[in-house]
Structure 1
């Protein structure tokens, strides 16, 4: 297990406790100043099982810290076995300015992620920009993921959320591919081995994600004073 932490006026820490295959993770933050602080946090875990399946859990919210106060922000449990891999991130930002103030991370068997999760630019890691998770199972699913990522990688600015490409079986020998964002399925379609069809679906999927993110940003900006 490997952990990384940055210290500042506001410090963040991921506390872990492992009991019989269950890893409990707790996100905490401390205020080392004499000022009252209004902040946001993002707590994310990404797990890869020994069979290659990926899953993620994301929690976020607003919170306040009094001078010299330490507070538990969130807690999650992950079932993890010997050959599983895990990456956990905790990020804290100023509420008013959106400025990053602290981060912490924890890794278990992180090298197992190399073929499944795209590399993360350190300058963008606070927002988790550009992360895509491949949970496809068939050749058509893998081909779609490659085409989708090729299309998505062309964007000059990646969105600040984890994108999950999932595949589930349907009746017969078919399967359905779904594009998920923030625990929400934005689009799904029946898999087809045709490259033209998959390319069309990849282009459409990126457009749907961008439209969703654009509408979300507009709504968020309307409520900012």
Structure 2
């Protein structure tokens, strides 16, 4: 009994649906092609949006100085490094980590990393004149590394390195 009822409902539904399709007129409209000025405006908007996305993608927090020191002399090194640090003009996408590891007696090992690359390493003694001296060395070496790195990136991205991919 239930299968007869389902078949009857389905038949009734299809009959009503087919009557609605035949009774209505075509509802599609002919769409005119957009004027040339509107096409140009749309292309300009798309180009501006892609440029904005590209510029937003390159925005990052650059030039972080991260203190990972453990002793007072390590903290003095970091403070003096921070005071003397002036990044190169074109330096981008880098973070500087200053790490300190214990060594024997009252000495520690201080290391300066740019991203994951160690650029400076020295023993640190708790004398302020010695700390100021090695801070000067570490700042100059770190600045030189960043300047050379940015120059290398520009050379690799230059026109003479780009090709069509056809050998």
Q: Which runs of 5+ in 2 are unaligned?
A: 1-44, 160-167
- Aligned match of 1:202: 135
The answer to whether the Cα contact below 8 Å between 1:130 and 1:158 also exists between their aligned partners in 2 is no
User: 1:196 & 1:173 partners in 2: Cα distance?
Assistant: 16
- Aligned match of 2:79: 146
* Structure 1 residue 215: Cα displacement: 1.2
Q: Does 1:182 align with 2:137?
A: no
* Structure 1 residue 171: Cα displacement: 3.0
Sort the Cα spacing of 1:173 and 1:156 in 2 relative to 1 into closer, same or farther, 3 A. Answer: closer
TM value normalised by structure 1? 0.43
- Aligned match of 2:64: 131
User: 2:145 & 2:53 partners in 1: Cα distance?
Assistant: 23
The alignment covers a number of residue pairs equal to 112
* Structure 1 residue 208: Cα displacement: 0.7
Q: Secondary structure at the match of 2:147?
A: helix
User: 1:218 & 1:156 partners in 2: Cα distance?
Assistant: 11
Q: Which one has the bigger helix percentage? A: 2
Q: Which runs of 5+ in 1 are unaligned?
A: 1-32, 39-91, 95-99, 104-125
Q: CA RMSD in A?
A: 3.1
* Structure 1 residue 141: Cα displacement: 0.2
User: 1:93 & 1:220 partners in 2: Cα distance?
Assistant: 22
* Structure 1 residue 187: Cα displacement: 0.6
* Structure 1 residue 221: Cα displacement: 1.3
Deviations 1:5-64 (A, max 9, x none): xxxxxxxxxxxxxxxxxxxxxxxxxxxx989xx9xxxxxxxxxxxxxxxxxxxxxxxxxx
Match of 1:168 among 101, 110, 116: 101
Sort the Cα spacing of 1:131 and 1:180 in 2 relative to 1 into closer, same or farther, 3 A. Answer: same
Sort the Cα spacing of 1:195 and 1:221 in 2 relative to 1 into closer, same or farther, 3 A. Answer: same
The answer to whether the Cα contact below 8 Å between 1:129 and 1:158 also exists between their aligned partners in 2 is no
Q: Secondary structure at the match of 1:101?
A: helix
- Range 159-168 or range 133-142, more displaced: 159-168
TM value normalised by structure 2? 0.57
